[in-house]
Amino acid sequence: MNIGIIGGGAVGLLFSSYLSKKFDVTLLVRRIEQVNLVNRLGVTLKRSDRSITSYLKGEILSGKMSSYDLIIIAVKEYDLDSVLKILKETDQQIPLLFLQNGIGHLDRVKSLPHLTLLAGSVEHGALKENDHSVIHLGIGKTNLALIKGELNRAEELLIQQIEYFPFLIHDDHEVMMLKKLFVNVLVNPLTAIAGVENGRLPDNPHFLHIQHTLFEELLTLFPHMKNYIHFQEIIDICLGTSDNRSSMLKDIEEKRKTEIETILGSLLIKAEKEDHFVPIMNTLYELVKGIEREGQGG
């Protein structure tokens, strides 16, 4: 199966490395410098136990993408709109798999004419070292669910078992994405503001109190989720990734744009429309936006 992966960040490099073990993979990126490095040096994956270099093809992202059996979109949500314009030019028969955080992008994705659309929720921890190297910080799984259509060729991701990189199918894409959103909301902003690893949140009673209050605020927005996720699951994830620094914390440290709009911004819009009082959510949003602005020079 030929797979195109759009995005040369941590997730794009991680997926390129692992999937190239079983499939023909092309990494589709915007910068010719990254294309040249990938074509010359391959993609190097670093785990605690070893370092592996996979040789695959790098190409500049364009609308001429008709030769793929599956396209995986691994850019951040705030870079998605320009990619969607390109995807509209591609063959509607090609299944598309979206790996963005949050739920704000789902309505835009549904407007695409493609017959098969999938959502993915990535539980792995990854850190981009450079344009051709990624560190696999935490081994998890990738959850998949259909937005519309049928699995067809994308089912190969489930059939081909890749060591350290499992895929799991879910029935309801909205519940799957909301579960990931709960984790992102309860971990990313607070670690970014406090400058701590994930494991410090449940260990510190003050952080833990904020997390629990935030969890209750989320349930006011999505009351049906009380049947699908419990606060203890969030604690277990924090403890299971105790040494990890969240993606939002890393963005703050590197003075990059964060995904706070994706993770909290869309929720605050929903809260305002539905007249919900979510003070912790509002405060965390404003703090991250303020820190982000300071890091980018005001």
Which are the catalytic amino acids? Answer: 180
CA distance 52 to 235: 32
CA distance 257 to 271: 24
CA distance 24 to 72: 13
221, 266 contact by CB (below 8 A): no
172, 182 contact by CB (below 8 A): no
Buried residues in 162-197 as b, exposed as e (16+ CB within 10 A): eeebebeeeeebebbbbbbbbbbbbbbbbbbbbebb
Amino acid at 228: Y
161, 151 contact by CB (below 8 A): no
**CA-CA-CA-CA torsion sign (221, 105, 253, 247):** positive
